[in-house]
Amino acid sequence: MSTDSPKTYSIKNYGCQMNVYDGERMAEMFESQGMTPADEKANADLVVLNTCHIREKAAEKVYSEIGRLRRKDGSSPVIAVAGCVAQAEGGEISRRAPEVDIVVGPQAYHNLPEMVAAVGRGERVVDLDLPGLDKFGKLPARRKQAPSAFLTVQEGCDKFCTYCVVPYTRGAEISRSWSELLDEAKAIVDAGAKEITLLGQNVNAWDGEDDKGQMQGLDGLIRALDKIPGLRRIRYMTSHPNDMTEGLIAAHGDVEKLMPFLHLPVQSGSDRILKAMNRSHSRDSYMRILDRVRAVRPDIAFSGDFIVGFPGETDADFEDTMRLVREVGHAQAYSFKYSPRPGTPAAEMPDQIPMHVMDERLQRLQAQIVADQTSFNERTVGRTCDVLLERPGKFTGQLIGKSPWLQSVHVLAPDLSIGNIVTVQITDSGPLSLKGEPTMRAAA
Ligand code: 5AD
Ligand code: SF4
């Protein structure tokens, strides 16, 4: 650690979009204190590792990253370990890696500037409080935004799926308030965003009182956001099947800004495994939800999460998952090998599945998912859709944006800029992206 107060910072995010959002808010906080981003992590005075604990070897990765931060002269920057590994490992981190100055949980990072000051006075700081949503009221206002922005509306989880560490690292389900969220959404749009993705570990469990004192669910919030001029697209993730309310399903049918894409993890296609996972939905109840969403929004694209090799998963259970995947035909999906998380019930279950079996199952599942994604993309060819341009492409005049169905679309459009929404005809497709040609420019 260097003793001068840090002038440059670097934040490395691991894991989910909620960490990306937290990382952005940390950056805004450091910049409001006069710090600037370091050109490279190696040169930063302050490095934040914003960690994720959801799957394998998370803690090991963090320790090896800490080792790499040591400079040639033996010194190191001020190092803060934030996020879910910090919450799970606590003070153990600075015992194992003495160069770590700060260990800060996901609900306490608004205190980082004071912690950095304390480090300057020679202290080491561990703050793992889970004080609900205090931090949001203490963070500086939102600044310049990319065309597509994240907004955390809810944190934590009460579902206690037996494999998952989130209820322990992020705490209980808690929703941010209506007025705070509408204010932040307006600020994000004023700062340049055209699209907002509402985030939460259980985003569709969001609830709160509106400005008239009426209880609202996520659909109510989405309908209020729909009225913000300048906001063109709304998305949300990650949802739990049990919180897909009538109202939220209906919103997919009649809120035009709500994009036709739903990330709804199912984890397994076997009822026996779903029960052991404590998912509290069945294969059939999950499929019925998809049908109801399809009924109000026929062009809806589905995404999901899958775990293979949960303890006790037989070949027949895995075949049930493969069958579900083929039936749904996802536009995209994430799949993981089960990883025992210390302190979770599944880590103690008998019949842990050998690695080679998990490897084999994962390969088969991923091959199916890639095939479905490729065929979904192929079916988009010839269609006309709007693309929100988000970043430059590899070639001169090329821009890359997102279709309504969250596909990456490469567009040759030298006269357009990032942040424009352009109507394109899709001309070509691959497993990971599409090509489109502008037909006419939609009002940006
Ligand atoms: N092992 C493997 N995958 C997991 N996930 C959560 N916990 C575990 C675990 N212990 C996956 C789930 C979840 C996604 C965010 O990560 O599929 O939906
Ligand atoms: Fe983890 Fe289940 Fe909660 Fe999702 S719903 S965060 S998988 S416990």
Give every CB contact of residue 165 below 8 A, 6+ residues apart in sequence.
Answer: 53, 54, 84, 88, 341, 343, 344
Distance CA 108, CA 129 (A): 6
Report, as an integer, the average pLDDT of 62-85.
Answer: 90
Indicate which ligand has the atom closest to the C-alpha of 274.
Answer: 2
Residues lining ligand 2, judged by CB closer than 6 Å? 157, 159-161, 164, 166-167, 201-202, 240
Confidence check: pLDDT of 2 > 60: no
**Token output for 439:** 């037909």
Q: E strands, 222-329, where?
A: 233-237, 261-263, 301-308
User: Sign of the C-alpha dihedral, residues 330, 280, 348, 51?
Assistant: positive
Q: Of 415, 418, 404, which is closest to residue 438 (Cα–Cα)? A: 415
- Coil, strand, or helix at residue 107? coil
CA of 373 to the centre of ligand 2 (A): 25
pLDDT in tens, 17-37: 889 999 999 999 999 999 999
Residue 81 Cα to ligand 1 midpoint, Å, equals: 22
> Across residues 322-346, what is the average pLDDT?
96
Which of 266, 336, 369 has most ligand 1 atoms within 8 Å of CB, for mutation?
Answer: 336
* Ligand 2 mean position, distance from CA 277 (Å): 10
CB under 8 Å to 139, separation ≥6 — which residues? 25, 28, 29, 110
Q: Is 33 left (phi over 0), alpha (psi -120 to 50) or beta?
A: alpha
- Interval between CA 159 and ligand 2 midpoint (Å): 6
pTM of the model: 0.92
Residue 257 alpha carbon to ligand 2 centre in Å: 27
Mutate to test the pocket of ligand 1, among 54, 281, 303 (most ligand atoms within 8 A of CB): 54
State in Å: Cα 351 to ligand 1 middle: 18
Predicted confidence at residue 65, as pLDDT, reads 92
Task: For a ligand 2 pocket test, name from 19, 202, 274 the mutation site with the most ligand atoms within 8 angstroms of its C-beta.
Answer: 202
Gap from CA of 164 to ligand 1 centroid (Å): 6
pLDDT digits (tens, 9 = 90+) for 274-295: 999 999 999 999 999 999 999 9
pLDDT exceeds 80 at position 15: yes
Is the bond leading into 238 cis (omega within 30 degrees of zero)?
Answer: yes
User: Cα(182)–Cα(180) distance, rounded to whole angstroms?
Assistant: 6
pLDDT in tens, 359-384: 999 999 999 999 999 999 999 999 99
Protein residues with CB under 6 Å of any ligand 1 atom: 54-55, 163-164, 265, 267, 305, 307, 336, 338-339, 341
pLDDT (tens digit per residue) in 176-213: 999 999 999 999 999 999 999 999 999 999 999 999 99
Report pLDDT for 3.
52
Asked if pLDDT for residue 114 goes beyond 90, the answer is: yes
Measured in angstroms, how far is the CA atom of residue 308 from the centroid of ligand 1? 10
Testing ligand 1's pocket by substitution, the residue of 14, 18, 55, 165 carrying the most ligand atoms inside 8 A of its CB is 55
